[in-house]
Amino acid sequence: MPPEPSQLLDSLGLETPPIGLYVAPDTAPFEPCVRPQATGHTCVFAFYKEWLRGRTLHLTWEVHGCDGAAPCLFGRHVRPTEDLVTFLVEEEGLKRSREAMTRWVERRRAQVPEHPNVLIGPLRPEQAAHLRSVTFFVDPDRLGALVVGANYDAEVDDPVVVTAPFGSGCSHLLGPAGEAPAAIIGATDSAMRRYLPPDVLAFTVNRAMFARLCALDRKSFLHKSFWTGLQAARGRA
């Protein structure tokens, strides 16, 4: 059985539902779905309010909404590297040098999906076999709690379990690479933040970290004075 997040969400006082990123052969189990227009540019995060309404964004290589989403979500390049580097460095000023940006573009994380459908939306426990990552949309208080939770079972010599990498908002939705429990602080990309409330960031976890967070019990910090005191200070107790 997939992890059940309801106790975690209740302990966090988080009403915004987490979303999953799935790669699946069939879209029927994910309906109702929404899709970008076949032409033009639409950011993945333009569908944030649709996710909150219980709808799933359906992307394919043929219709993926944004050229920036194509490399990370489908492992294919739409723009020549030189053109992309010129845009990111000379027009948007995201790195000091073309050389540094070129290396990042060449080495950035991407998935080559084994099925044609990338689906981003509400968690579907019955589709757990196709789940790639889970994203929580949180304010600073709950972001802090998730960072602590991600480290709850980590040993001092373990690899760092939470990172905040440079990259696009949609690339962060892939979550961390590898099988070890890990998380990414995302939604730091100014190009997509207009679609989120101003006090919200993303915390994206792989399957192993999702299970670890859902296993936090009443012995954890979520039921102790630091966290409960913060809730009282915020008027949420």
Question: What does the pLDDT profile of the chain (237 residues) look like in tens digits?
Answer: 789 999 999 999 999 999 999 999 999 999 999 999 988 889 999 999 999 999 999 999 898 888 888 888 998 877 899 999 999 999 999 999 999 999 999 998 888 899 999 999 999 999 999 999 999 999 999 999 999 999 999 999 999 999 999 999 999 999 998 899 999 999 999 999 999 999 999 999 999 999 999 999 999 999 999 999 999 999 987
| Alpha carbon distance 114, 190 (integer Å) | 30
- CA atoms in the 13 A half-sphere facing the CB of 154: 20
Total residue length of the chain: 237
How is residue 24 written in tokens?
């699946």
Q: Write down the pTM of the prediction.
A: 0.95
